[in-house]
Amino acid sequence: ATSAAIAGMAAVSTAFVCPVARTSHTEGATALRGASSASSSAASALSSSTGVAILATSAALAFRRNQARASASALRAFEQEAGVQAPLGFWDPLGLSTSGNVSDYKRRREVELKHGRVAMFATIGYILPEYWRFPGYLSKFLDIKFADVPNGLSAFTKVPSLGWLQIVGFAGIVELNIYNEQVNDEPGNYGACFLGLRSIGFMNSGIADPEVRRKKLNAELANGRLAMFAIIGMFFQDGLTGSA
């Protein structure tokens, strides 16, 4: 009887004890496998991102190297052109010639020559009236003499509108009908020869010696560049102080 009572108490006592979870080891292993898989995925993603970044950097460096080579090739292509002079040599701070396009280069050289020539005339036109003026009338109808026209920017207010129309019209005729075809595809060479004497009827054969001609062309470019700076400086000084 005593044995039966003890057995019964043992059976009842087991009814109030929480059962032990038998799947704990399985769930832990599954969690570990999941963490390992996530770590592997993260490492794979990081490796892929690093590879893409390396490829992008390599492509950018290769592009820059090719661009530098193209720029150097363009510089070498134009190093023998007129205007390449010491101490700067071929000076292109804005990189306008880096494409190596010959047509673009010749167009810009032609524009540079034209602007330089106009600037040289403008600079002389600023200086000469300080010492000498044409005699007579600028406009007989308006009773304006050349001596009445002030020097510098103030002349804009004195010269009549018809006079400016004549100046602009004459420049347009020269641009469109006289200096409109280049000789031997040489920028700025319109067959006018030395000092443009052919344009006013004085025929000459130009400069025969290639070295002397190259020296003269370099001098024209250098003087034109200086004149462009000079006339802009005169404009600023005249605008600020009223006198150039």
The values of phi and psi at residue 177, to 5°, are -115, -15
User: Which helix (H) or strand (E) segment is 145 a member of?
Assistant: strand 144-145
pLDDT tier for residue 7 given thresholds of 50, 70 and 90: very low
Residues with Cβ within 8 Å of residue 124, at least 6 apart in sequence: none
Between 204 and 14, name the one with better pLDDT. 204
**For the chain, percent of residues with pLDDT exceeding 70:** 68
Q: What is the dihedral of CA 197, 200, 205, 210, to 10 degrees?
A: 30
The model's pTM: 0.65
Q: What is the dihedral of CA 25, 27, 29, 32, to 10 degrees?
A: -140
Condensed to tens digits (0 to 9), the pLDDT of residues 82-93 reads: 788 877 778 788
- At residue 1, does pLDDT exceed 90? no
- Across the chain, mean pLDDT equals 76
Q: Is 138 helix (H, G, I), strand (E, B) or coil?
A: strand
The values of phi and psi at residue 144, to 5°, are -115, 120
Residue type, 45: A
pLDDT tier for residue 189 given thresholds of 50, 70 and 90: confident
